[in-house]
Structure 1
């Protein structure tokens, strides 16, 4: 079966510095893959490469269509949502206005179906956003901004959601709310690339784990197999 996302021989650079070295990775429709590794291992660079934000070469295919040469908004319209690590909200706009900007023009129609997510769905997943819908996004807490960024990405109606460090800097209760949202998305059949330093949120959501080290995939297998590999966890995550 053709994978939803197929990455082969991906290299990426920041200027003269090479950050990814021949990365191979696949994600199937509806699959949740956790991508873990230490800071600087290349995880965020891989996400940025998928969205056309860094210089790269190799083969990137989504639904068997090449992403080469496409601009970020064109990649998003194909059905890839991106929640960056630093929660890029529009700080002077209200929560409601931020969400309205996430509604893609014709994204779902271009893929031959009705949209699966509405602003009401976003408010149902994150009730605090409804309560603060008239508040400027820049006045939200870090956890609320994370919820807003995730909800806005969903309004583009993606088939694959890339989420970079969803629990970074969040209080435990907020992290639990984000994790519950991701469980709901998994149950709805959304494929996800969940980037974490360790398996904080992904442990209960992902079925497969890939580990990055020095810009390469050093392990790729089922979650149950990964937790038995104390050698991999010790060498590449610093835990055992």
Structure 2
């Protein structure tokens, strides 16, 4: 596999507290990889380390570029999009203003604002509404759409189905499938693997800041020990 993202022996800290203890992971173009694990396992810290939002050491290479010396906005401009668990929309701006701020500043994006409205029709209906008055599900759709119109080659999405209705979660899943169909790789961070079955090409399970399993979703289902010890279900 020609890796779009290459991560090797990645360590990360919050102050004196080390959270990641040598993570290795690769993602290919157009591939959907789910990163699972209990709360506190290091999943969100891994995403933040890729975006240079926490102190980190190790190999972080995206499209052949070393991410280590780059700042967060420079990494985003390379084509690495990040939708945080908190969604982080601009609450006082309208839906359309939020989308316009996300527009790619470099070349053409695979997704236009019209594409985003087709995926999430509510964004057209609420285009003049301030983002702060949207429901949690609507804010999640806006955050995803804003990231997509930025033209990413890899989209990192942290807990996109958390707190959403089954219908809203299904629409988010359809969005991620559309990303892969257009050649956009996805790193899907989930605790309970709500969206990953039938969506992810591979699943990586994280525990205590390390990858403890990596393989196809079907292979994970057969590993009762991994599911029991590291996912807290089963």
For the aligned pair, the TM-score class normalised by the smaller chain equals over 0.9
Structure 2 counterpart of 1:85:
85
- Give the TM-score, by structure 1 length: 0.95
Counterparts of 1:217 and 1:176, CA distance in 2: 27
For the residue of structure 2 that corresponds to 1:203, the secondary structure is coil
Quick check: 1:135 aligned with 2:116?
no
Q: Deviations over 1:174-233 (max 9, x none)?
A: 111111111222222221000000210111210100000001100011122111111100
Q: 2:12 matched to 1:12? A: yes
How far the C-alpha of 1:104 sits from its partner, in A, is: 2.5
1:40-95 CA-to-partner distances (Å, cap 9, x unmatched) read 00000000000110000011000111001201111011111101000100000000
In the alignment, structure 2 segments of 5+ residues that lack a partner are none
- Distance in 1, Cα, partners of 2:119 & 2:54: 32
The equivalent of 1:31 in structure 2 is: 31
User: Does 1:22 find its partner at 2:22?
Assistant: yes
CA contact (8 A) 1:2 1:64 kept: no
Q: Secondary structure at the match of 1:82?
A: strand
Quick check: 1:178 aligned with 2:175?
Answer: no
Q: Which residue of 2 aligns with 1:74?
A: 74
Match of 1:41 in 2: 41
Aligned to 2:181: 187
- Does the Cα contact within 8 Å between 2:37 and 2:231 map onto a contact in 1? yes
1:129: how far off? 0.3
User: What is the rounded CA distance, in whole Å, between the counterparts of 1:44 and 1:116 in structure 2?
Assistant: 26
For 1:159 and 1:195, the matched residues in 2 are separated by 17
SS in 2 for 1:61: strand
TM superposition score normalised by structure 2 = 0.98
The SS at the match of 2:139 is: helix
Q: Which residue of 2 aligns with 1:120?
A: 114
Decide whether the 8 Å contact of 1:36 with 1:43 is kept in 2.
yes
Could you tell me how far 1:102 is from its partner in structure 2?
0.2
Deviating runs (4+, > 3 A) in structure 1? none
> SS in structure 2 opposite 1:166?
coil
CA distance in 2, matches of 1:130, 1:20: 40
Q: What's the C-alpha RMSD, in Å, of the aligned pairs? A: 0.9
Task: Give the conservation status (yes or no) of the 8 Å contact 2:67–2:75.
Answer: yes
Whole-Å separation in 2 of the counterparts to 1:2 and 1:186: 16
1:226 corresponds to which of 199, 220, 225: 220
Q: Deviations over 1:133-176 (max 9, x none)?
A: 00000000000000000000001110100000000111121111
Give distance in 1, aligned partners of 2:141 and 2:42: 24
Tell me the distance in 1 between the aligned counterparts of 2:42 and 2:123. Answer: 32
Alignment match, 1:157 = 151
Aligned equivalents of 1:121, 1:104: Cα separation in 2: 14
